[in-house]
Amino acid sequence: MSLISTPAEKSAMLEGAAVKGRSLWEDAQSRLLRNKAAVFSLVLLGVLVVLAFLGPLLWIHDSSHIYRDRVQLPPTFEHLHIFGTDAQGRDLFARTLVGLRMSLMVGVVATMVSLAIGVIWGATAGFVGGRLDQLMMRIVDVLYSLPFIFFVIILMVVFGRNIILIFVAIGAVEWLTMARIVRGQTISLKGMEFVEAARAAGVSQFSIIRRHIVPNVLGPVVVYVTLTIPVVILAESFLSFLGLGVQEPLTSLGNLISNGARDMEVAPWTLYFPALTMMVTLFCFNFIGDGLRDAIDPKDR
């Protein structure tokens, strides 16, 4: 004798099974994929990343090769200088790809540095509380009072202008907001039943932070990361514009924009194309961040 006696019961059982297995992250993914601006930005950003890392290897012109007879050549398909050339006669398209790669690397590496410091600092301060929390957050307040550029310049003077240290220096000043966000989320979580159960079971504070607090603050952190990367890219571009960032023979979008601003009266394309590339990249990150925020925000469910 069959356990499901009628087609109606079978249909109800199948519908219940279909509804049953959807987690909050799967729901957030579904909501994100319905956001057309975020999906388009993800695809476009993926194309930009591929171009940045593979384009310089495949493009016909080397980014450092100087064509002395093609100085400040306007965009043309005759020699495949589709973005033109700069004041030294180098192909601007190749240099824009290399600059995009450097800016993306700065954005990602510096954001990961700020993520590591900010999450650990904020989770520890929020969970332990008391005097330690007060001390740690007063340190954050003091660092907030320092001008960003002044702090980065100090770090670069002390540790040198190595490209890796530029990543670390920018990341070392971008973790402050991350720490505040994580601290606020941690304070709201540490009174929850699953944290109290872990305490009652004798789990150490470090293990509770690592296994329970940090995974549960990842939602807001992921959103903030996507919004921090463009901030870091702009910060590096500003430093490069002032001559404090990436140095020759390397280049970044900030360097290219600085050079283009100097030559814009005679060769405006040297400014337009790097600036347009940066604008599109920043828009992609911002739309992705907005889409993630809308997908993860529990008030929108």
pLDDT band at 297 (very low <50, low <70, confident <90, very high): low
Distance CA 292, CA 29 (A): 9
pLDDT band at 207 (very low <50, low <70, confident <90, very high): confident
Could you tell me the residue ranges of all domains in the chain? 43-300
Of the candidates 217, 219, 214, 213, the one whose C-alpha atom is nearest the C-alpha of residue 198 is: 213
Mean pLDDT of 42-61: 92
pLDDT digits (tens, 9 = 90+) for 258-272: 888 888 888 999 999
Distance CA 102, CA 233 (A): 9
The more confident residue out of 174 and 138 is 138
**pTM to 2 decimal places:** 0.79
The more confident residue out of 103 and 240 is 103
Mean pLDDT of 123-131: 86
> How far are the Cα atoms of 53, 151, 187, 255 from residue 165, in angstroms, in the given order?
21, 13, 33, 18
> How far are the Cα atoms of 37, 46, 282 from residue 41, in angstroms, in the given order?
6, 8, 10
Residue 273 has pLDDT above 90, yes or no: yes
CATH of domain 43-300: 1.10.3720.10
Please name the residues in contact with 219: beta carbons below 8 A apart, sequence gap of 6 or more.
28, 296
